[in-house]
């Protein structure tokens, strides 16, 4: 082992060097720039004034319009995540119970081989004023004039759910697939109703998959940019859109940076909370096993 560990120490840095340098230059440095800019004063013609530190950008964040957008972004992300999980759970369950798992997985994934923007565009085709849905409703005589389905909170949530559904289905499927279904039978034999066996036997056992699914859907939805831009209206803008607007239109780099910091902090907090829950869960399982072994 000693000869081996000397080889190990020798080349590690050498192998990792290109990647490390790349990430430091093109990921860490840009992030640090955002941090720096968020504390600088706005330049007269856009950009920033170097050397003038101020908390102006963060003070601007207490502006009611930003508070409203932050809350709206959170609420939108929570609702969309909740609906996604609600649909994904039975889907994952059904797929795990099925004998044609590979085929069903393929069915879930095929729509997502299509370009992201094209899928948004397809929804615009469906929900638009002259779109498929209005056309259908008018033809069957349910409505006389078109309904505006697009450019509101509802259309944003609908399309977000569409986009991130497989992100929730896949981790749930793989966790449920590992679940020992004979436990459900045992619960039923012991007198539990079907819902009882689902909520008190299945759900607690697939918690880790549930956390992963929530994380995989909530984070990208919280940072959404393209969907609210294309199918949302002015009053369904999310934090990502505000950042882009401040950067490109208002040319207020410090403010764009400060909002980016908010987005980063909330995202990171979400990741940490979920990872913590998962770790706690894993520890509990280990504890139970240890106890079982002790008996």
Partner 1 sequence: MKLNIKGIITNLTPGKAKGEAARHARRAYRQKPFSFSQTVFIAALIFLFLPLLVLIVYSFNESKGMGWTGFSMVWYEQLFLHSRDLWRAFWNSILIAITSAGTATVFGTLGAVGVNWYRFRLRNYVQAISFLPMILPEVIIGVSLSLFFAGIKLKLGLLTIFIAHTTFNLPFVFLMVMARLDEFDFSIIEAAHDLGANEQQTFLKVTVPICMPGIVSGFLTAVTISLEDFVITYFVAGPGSTTLPLYIYSAIRFGVSPVINALSVVMILGTVALTYLLRNFLKYIAAK
Q: Using an 8 Å Cβ cutoff, are 150 and 228 in contact?
A: no
Q: How far is the CB of 206 from partner 1 (least distance, A)?
A: 13
Is residue 232 left, alpha or beta, with left meaning phi > 0 and alpha meaning psi from -120 to 50? beta
Closest CA to 112 of 69, 61, 170, 157: 170
235 touches partner 1 (CB under 8 A): no
Closest CA to 57 of 29, 38, 77: 38
**Could you give the CA distance from residue 162 to residue 224 in angstroms, rounded to a whole number?**
13
Q: Restricting to residues 155-184, which ones interact with partner 1 according to CB under 8 A?
A: 162, 165-167, 169-170, 177-182, 184
Q: Restricting to residues 38-57, which ones interact with partner 1 according to CB under 8 A?
A: 47
Q: How far is the CB of 225 from partner 1 (least distance, A)?
A: 5
197 touches partner 1 (CB under 8 A): no
Structure tokens at 77: 């992300």
**Could you give the CA distance from residue 224 to residue 17 in angstroms, rounded to a whole number?**
33
257 touches partner 1 (CB under 8 A): yes
Pick the closer one to partner 1 by CB: 248 or 294.
248
Which helix (H) or strand (E) segment holds residue 206: the answer is: none
In the set 132, 200, 269, 279, which binds partner 1 (CB under 8 A)? 132
119 touches partner 1 (CB under 8 A): yes
Q: How far is the CB of 153 from partner 1 (least distance, A)?
A: 19
Structure tokens at 287: 């504890």
Q: Restricting to residues 57-116, which ones interact with partner 1 according to CB under 8 A?
A: 87, 90-91, 93-95, 97-99, 102, 104-116
User: How many chain residues are in contact with partner 1, going by CB under 8 A?
Assistant: 102
In the set 71, 117, 147, 203, which binds partner 1 (CB under 8 A)? 117
Angle between helices 101-109 and 64-97 (to 10 degrees): 150
255 touches partner 1 (CB under 8 A): no
């Amino acid at each position: 082992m000693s000869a081996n560990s000397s080889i190990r120490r020798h080349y590690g840095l050498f192998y990792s060097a290109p990647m490390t340098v790349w990430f430091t230059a093109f990921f860490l440095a840009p992030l640090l720039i955002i941090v720096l800019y968020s504390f600088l004063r706005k330049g007269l013609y856009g950009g920033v004034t170097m050397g003038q530190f101020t908390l102006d950008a963060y003070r601007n964040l207490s502006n009611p319009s930003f508070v409203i957008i932050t809350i709206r972004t959170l609420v939108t992300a929570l609702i969309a995540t909740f609906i996604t999980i609600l649909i994904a759970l039975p889907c994952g369950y059904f797929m795990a119970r099925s004998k044609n798992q590979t085929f069903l997985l393929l069915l879930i994934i095929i729509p997502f081989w299509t370009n992201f923007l094209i899928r948004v565009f397809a929804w615009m085709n469906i929900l638009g004023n002259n779109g498929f849905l209005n056309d259908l409703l008018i033809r069957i005589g349910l409505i006389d004039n078109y309904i505006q389905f697009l450019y509101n909170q509802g259309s944003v949530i609908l399309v977000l759910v569409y986009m991130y559904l497989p992100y929730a289905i896949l981790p749930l499927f793989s966790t449920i697939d590992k679940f020992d279904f004979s436990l459900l039978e045992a619960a039923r034999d012991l007198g539990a109703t079907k819902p009882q066996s689902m909520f008190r036997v299945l759900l607690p056992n697939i918690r880790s998959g549930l956390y992963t699914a929530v994380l995989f859907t909530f984070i990208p939805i919280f940072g959404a940019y393209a969907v609210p831009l294309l199918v949302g209206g002015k009053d369904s803008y999310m934090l990502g859109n505000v950042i882009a607007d401040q950067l490109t239109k208002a040319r207020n780099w410090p403010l764009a940076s400060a909002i980016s910091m908010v987005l980063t902090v909330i995202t990171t907090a979400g990741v940490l909370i979920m990872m913590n829950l998962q770790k706690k869960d894993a520890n509990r399982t280990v504890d139970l096993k240890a106890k079982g072994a002790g008996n």
